[in-house]
Structure 1
Amino acid sequence: MNYERYKELRVEKDGNILTLTVNRSDTKNAINAALHEEFSYIFDDIDRDESVDVVILTGSGGSFCAGGDLKWLLSMHGDPVTTSIGIRRDRKIQNSILDLEKPIIAKVDGPAIGLGCSLALYCDFVYASDHSLFADPHVSVGLVAGDGGAVMWPQLVGYARARRYLLTGDAIPAPEAAAMGLITEAVPADQLDETVARMAKRLARGATHSIKWTKASINAGLKVSANAIIDRAAAYENVTQLLDDHRIALQAFQNKEKPQFTGR
């Protein structure tokens, strides 16, 4: 498999372990159009790569992924064609991760926000440094949580907690996220690399077909729920990308002000 076409994602292989690094550290790995597009097909490429049995997903420069880039989101506002393209990619990202039978380990150091948080939560293991934060603040920017939060949060922490965090956008420190079952484990920052490497090597040395097909069996039920949610959440998010409240929120955050929503 040739990964040379990837620019925003850095792809490295060590034996049968592939490490996928979000490579926009100057923006805290915020997602722009190019990165969003690459995420929409990278997992399909990994699926076809028979030399890979385990995947590590991480970020560069002390951040996992800060969510959508404000400039990119503003450039799409009010354009139904452009926003629908982005929504279609969101659906492809979610489905391609769920369809990938190879185990994925998220190595989170720093903020995992919005789609960045969803990317982590769709992984099979989530290890985070103890100073990391997890949040899905779509509502804070006038959007529906359409890129995975509405799927994964209720599955992981139950509906009561999911509502608490998805309807407010509040952030959760990694130790609390681990305690409530949102992520696998929070560890001291200086132990993160070793912890992830140890699990990746254990999986890579295991009975790979048994591991893959056990994951596929677990995901079979999850995919039933996900398919009932993804299309509706994505459609609602597409509508909110056209509303004034979304533009108001983006401009307010850009100006470091508090948004004054109008409900329109």
Structure 2
Amino acid sequence: MSHDDLPAEIRVESDGPVRTVVLDRPAELNAVNSGLHRALAEVWERLAADPDAGAVVLTGAGRAFSAGGDLHWVASFLDDPVARDASLREGARIIEEMLRFPLPVVAAVNGPAVGLGCSVALLCDVVLISENAHLADPHVAVGLAAGDGGAAFWPLLTPLLRSREYLYTGDRIAAATAVELGLASRAVPPADLLPEAHRLAARIAAQPPEAVRGTKRVLNMHLARALDGPMQAGFAAEAASMRSPEHRARLTALVERAGREGRS
């Protein structure tokens, strides 16, 4: 089954029953722009309809998993409330589609997983993280409520006190600490990350499919029910903070600094 009609910012590779979804903006550290955001909303439904797929590996091209939102794309929302609200609706769809997705997903976090990139990684069924990688949710540091996953989702995985510290500060969470906190399944040497993710995905794909899908469906019912209220409140809080003068000032400063440093 071909997935060539997806946005160019995402790539799907096939190896037997394993599909590898690659976030494919390596020059921009796989920062999420409009195309990648749409691709993340669409790819799960496409893969669910693939009759030969049994499991998925999710990773990033190059040296990052995803550096979070593309600064210029996010900055475009400052004066475009219609596009801002559309992005929030699409963000909710990404989370809903991942929770509904019937096949097991193994995240191969090959580098920084930041903001939405972190949320997408943590919504996977198994999170393998390179020993050189880190997680971070810097929403608050840029004047935003951590609404697209962090505030709603992290407390289901790790103690509330630890969630608060990292969400309030936006500090990086090293691979070993992520495993200790329950935000990653295990840390893997960089050279072994993708081979190990594919071995694990192939092993799960070889299990009886109805048993795997049924087990995932029940497990994700716990998440869906727990996230229902907090996720709605999170997106509402994020939308409100997007209109704040603090967010405008901090985001504008980040864009200007990135321009001076020659980054997107």
TM-score of Structure 1 vs Structure 2, range by shorter chain: over 0.9
Structure 2, unaligned runs of 5 or more: 259-264
Question: Secondary structure in 2 aligned to 1:134?
Answer: strand
Letter in 2 for 1:188: P
Deviation at 1:83, TM superposition (A): 0.8
Q: Which residue in the other structure is 1:173 paired with?
A: 174
Deviation at 1:151, TM superposition (A): 2.5
Q: Which residue in the other structure is 1:121 paired with?
A: 122
Cα RMSD for the two superposed structures? 1.2
Q: Which residue in the other structure is 1:99 paired with?
A: 100
Q: Distance in 2 between matches of 1:158 and 1:99?
A: 25
Question: Secondary structure in 2 aligned to 1:128?
Answer: strand
Question: Secondary structure in 2 aligned to 1:3?
Answer: coil
C-alpha distance after superposition, 1:165-221 (max 9, x if no partner): 111111100111012211001111122122212211110111121111101101111
TM-score normalised per structure 1: 0.94
Q: Which residue in the other structure is 2:5 paired with?
A: 5
**Between Structure 1 and Structure 2, how many residues are aligned?**
257
Contact kept? 1:40, 1:89, Cα under 8 Å? yes
Q: Percent identity?
A: 38
Q: Which residue in the other structure is 1:155 paired with?
A: 156
Letter in 1 for 2:73: W
Question: Secondary structure in 2 aligned to 1:77?
Answer: helix
Letter in 2 for 1:240: S
Q: Which residue in the other structure is 1:261 paired with?
A: none
Alignment of 1:1-264 (within 5 A): 1-6=1-6, 7-256=8-257
Contact kept? 2:18, 2:198, Cα under 8 Å? no
Letter in 2 for 1:121: L
After the TM superposition, which parts of structure 1 deviate over 3 Å for at least 4 consecutive aligned residues?
Answer: none
TM-score normalised per structure 2: 0.94
Letter in 2 for 1:228: G
Question: Secondary structure in 1 aligned to 2:107?
Answer: strand
Question: Secondary structure in 2 aligned to 1:110?
Answer: coil
Contact kept? 2:34, 2:73, Cα under 8 Å? yes
Deviation at 1:2, TM superposition (A): 3.6
